[in-house]
Amino acid sequence: MISLKDRVALITGAGGGLGRSHALYLAGLGAKIVVNDPGGGVAGSGGNRAPADETVALVRQAGGEAVADYSGVETMEGASRMTAAALEAFGRLDIVVNNAGILRDASFKKQTDDDWRRVLDVHLTGSRNVVKAAWDHLCGRKYGRIVMTSSASGLYGNFGQTNYGAAKLGAIGFLNSLKEEGERYGIKVNAVAPMARSRMTESILPAELLGKLDPRFVSPVVAYLASEDCAVNGQCWAVGGGYVARVAIVEAKGLRLPADESFDAETVAANLETITDLGKARPLANLMDASAKILR
- 243 counts as catalytic: no
Beta carbons of 108 and 162 less than 8 angstroms apart = yes
Beta carbons of 25 and 222 less than 8 angstroms apart = yes
As measured in angstroms, the least distance from the Cβ of 257 to ligand NAI is 40
**Cα 45-46-50 angle, rounded to 5 deg:** 125
As measured in angstroms, the least distance from the Cβ of 200 to ligand NAI is 4
As measured in angstroms, the least distance from the Cβ of 118 to ligand NAI is 9
Q: Tally Cβ neighbours within 10 Å of residue 213.
A: 20
Beta carbons of 145 and 226 less than 8 angstroms apart = yes
Using the minimum distance from each CB to ligand NAI, give the nearer residue, 16 or 170.
16
Using the minimum distance from each CB to ligand NAI, give the nearer residue, 123 or 183.
123
Nearest Cα neighbor of 75 from 51, 100, 50, 95 is: 100
Using the minimum distance from each CB to ligand NAI, give the nearer residue, 212 or 253.
212
Q: Among the options 25, 70, 143, 164, which is catalytic? A: 164
Question: What separation in angstroms does the CA of 288 have from each of 154, 230, 259?
Answer: 25, 24, 21
Which residues are at the interface with ligand NAI (CB under 6 A)? 12-13, 15-19, 36-40, 42, 44, 51, 72-74, 99-102, 122, 126, 149, 151, 194-196, 198-201
As measured in angstroms, the least distance from the Cβ of 175 to ligand NAI is 14
Could you give the 3-state DSSP secondary structure of residue 134? Answer: helix
Using the minimum distance from each CB to ligand NAI, give the nearer residue, 153 or 264.
153
Beta carbons of 73 and 132 less than 8 angstroms apart = no
Provide the annotated active-site residues. Answer: 164
